[in-house]
């Protein structure tokens, strides 16, 4: 069995065309259509999961979800932390069964910041340079702020590193996601004859900074002459003074990054066909979370904060939120993610409505290789869903970051913070954009869903003291 897992960081579900169009217009086409023809191509012979939701939030915790198949020790959700020696990842289980694995990534914060995601892979490589990775020095690169520093999420030294890392880009192949896919393509050419392998391809794009090659930006907003806000702080975009025109360009730059990632996925699929192994591969494509862009359902926010300060921002110029703080749940545009799974020899698309989460990836990969799933994995294999042997593997999705927990059963979204800092209830049938918090008016429903949330955590062997914190 040959398995390829592909993750594109911070990819909105509605920017993958098989899930519909973005809910706003872009100047070049007057619509919200984002060009992702290669994801369409993959989906045409794959299972398209309609209700895939994140588990642990954000980037690093998501990778732990996927690698471990469960949450953190005694907690429902994984944290930003290293893998302990006694934590068993699915690549370790593959190795114990003589199945080689390879990690190819440019998402450096899962590798260089004490998050040793690579630990159990047979081999791994990191494409350096994303998001202020301290990989190079060049005193000819000046520190320049294209907009006021308050409209950049990074502190000055990190922004200068970003400028240094990308100063010498000329061709599209100098960008990080194309480099990552090129390495993956080369690896496949060297390893396609193996009977079994697992390949994890991980790109930080379309995460900010939103700075694709200009021709991708021109696909959506040609001739733009205003301020380019490519890495804004999280927060209320109107409070930050981002105009409608500037917001449209932000969306165009983000869409350009999505299309760039899609284009290089296409090169990978072409290579699999040329090598003659496409129909031997199980391919999974997904994201770790979406990204609010101040559209319907985004609470007026840009990026993905769960808390903002008195000035309406979080991480403006790298600074923490100022008191008094305002809290938010995670929007559906953050928690709902694309998930496309192509089985070997699959020849037509199949839409699957069952709720699934990143923990299920570990279980699915182990199932595909015939490796027994450990009892502590809370994920369930997706293969019975794809094969029509069952219609669901869970009743609801649980998402959060241990300060915030969310319960979504498709009808209701219930969110609650530890220590009584916030509680939200949205009726997704009548309020799909989550504009009206009904927690106070429908307190009985909120209490019932709170009970279901607590019950699910108990089934995961979460400590009672932690669960009680949501009632504080």
Do 15 and 126 have their domain in common? yes
What total number of domains does the chain contain?
A: 2
Do 61 and 167 have their domain in common? yes
Read off the pLDDT of residues 198-207 as tens digits, 9 standing for 90 and up. Answer: 999 999 999 9
Do 64 and 125 have their domain in common? yes
Do 261 and 343 have their domain in common? yes
pLDDT of residue 226: 97
Do 410 and 278 have their domain in common? no
pLDDT of residue 353: 97
Domain housing 419:
403-472
What is the model's pTM?
0.98
Read off the pLDDT of residues 218-260 as tens digits, 9 standing for 90 and up. Answer: 999 999 999 999 999 999 999 999 999 999 999 999 999 999 9
Do 361 and 456 have their domain in common? no
Do 359 and 450 have their domain in common? no
Do 116 and 144 have their domain in common? yes
Which of residues 335, 362, 395 is at a domain's end?
Answer: 395
pLDDT of residue 113: 73
pLDDT of residue 41: 98
**Percentage of the chain modeled with pLDDT above 70:** 100
Do 211 and 322 have their domain in common? yes
Residue stretches of the chain with pLDDT short of 70: none
Do 364 and 413 have their domain in common? no
CB-based contact 8:15 (threshold 8 Å): no
Which of residues 395, 422, 451 is at a domain's end?
Answer: 395
CATH of the domain at 22: 3.40.720.10
pLDDT of residue 54: 98
pLDDT of residue 214: 97
Read off the pLDDT of residues 45-68 as tens digits, 9 standing for 90 and up. Answer: 999 999 999 999 999 999 999 999
CATH of the domain at 432: 3.30.1120.10
- In order of 159, 161, 292, 293, the CA distances from 144 in angstroms are 9, 11, 27, 25
Alpha carbons 395 and 408: distance in angstroms, whole number: 9
Which of residues 372, 395, 418 is at a domain's end?
Answer: 395
Between helices 244-275 and 176-191, what is the axis angle to 10°?
Answer: 10
Alpha carbons 10 and 404: distance in angstroms, whole number: 19
Do 374 and 410 have their domain in common? no
Do 325 and 409 have their domain in common? no
């Amino acid at each position: 069995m040959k398995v390829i897992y592909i993750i594109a960081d911070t990819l909105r579900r509605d920017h993958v065309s098989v899930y519909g169009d973005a809910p706003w217009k872009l100047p070049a086409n007057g619509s919200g259509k984002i060009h992702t023809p290669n994801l369409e191509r993959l989906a045409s012979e794959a299972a398209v999961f309609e209700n895939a939701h994140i588990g642990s939030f954000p980037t690093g915790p998501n990778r732990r979800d996927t690698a471990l198949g469960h949450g953190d020790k005694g907690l429902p959700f994984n944290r930003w932390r290293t893998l302990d020696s006694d934590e068993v990842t699915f690549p370790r289980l593959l190795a114990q069964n003589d199945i080689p694995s390879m990690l190819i990534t440019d998402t450096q914060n899962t590798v260089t910041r004490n998050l040793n995601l690579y630990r159990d892979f047979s081999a791994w490589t990191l494409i350096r340079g994303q998001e202020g990775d301290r990989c190079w020095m060049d005193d000819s690169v000046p520190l320049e702020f294209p907009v006021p520093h308050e409209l950049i999420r990074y502190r000055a030294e990190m922004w200068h590193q970003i400028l240094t890392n990308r100063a010498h880009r000329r061709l599209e192949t100098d960008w990080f996601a194309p480099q990552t896919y090129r390495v993956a393509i080369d690896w496949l050419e060297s390893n396609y004859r193996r009977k079994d392998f697992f390949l994890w391809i991980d790109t930080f794009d379309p995460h900010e900074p939103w700075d694709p090659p200009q021709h991708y930006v021109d696909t959506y907003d040609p001739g733009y002459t205003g301020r380019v806000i490519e890495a804004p702080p999280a927060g209320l975009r109107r409070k930050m003074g981002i105009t409608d025109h500037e917001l449209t360009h932000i969306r165009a730059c983000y869409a350009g990054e999505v299309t760039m990632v899609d284009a290089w996925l296409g090169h990978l699929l072409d290579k699999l066909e040329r090598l003659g192994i496409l129909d031997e591969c199980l391919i999974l494509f997904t994201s770790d979370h979406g990204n609010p862009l101040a559209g319907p359902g985004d609470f007026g926010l840009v990026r993905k904060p769960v808390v903002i300060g008195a000035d309406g921002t979080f991480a403006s110029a790298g600074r923490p939120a100022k008191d008094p703080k305002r809290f938010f749940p995670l929007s559906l545009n953050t928690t709902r993610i694309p998930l496309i799974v192509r089985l070997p020899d699959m020849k037509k698309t199949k839409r699957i409505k069952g709720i699934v989460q990143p923990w299920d990836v570990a279980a699915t990969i182990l199932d595909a290789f015939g490796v027994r799933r450990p009892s502590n994995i809370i994920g369930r294999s997706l293969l019975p869903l794809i094969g029509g042997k069952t219609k669901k593997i869970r009743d609801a999705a649980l998402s959060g970051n241990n300060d915030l927990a969310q319960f979504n059963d498709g009808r209701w979204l219930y969110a609650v913070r530890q220590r009584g800092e916030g509680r939200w209830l949205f009726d997704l049938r009548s309020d799909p954009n989550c504009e009206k918090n009904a927690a106070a008016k429908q307190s009985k429903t909120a209490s019932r869903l709170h009970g279901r949330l607590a019950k699910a955590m108990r089934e995961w062997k979460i400590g009672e003291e932690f669960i009680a914190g949501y009632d504080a």
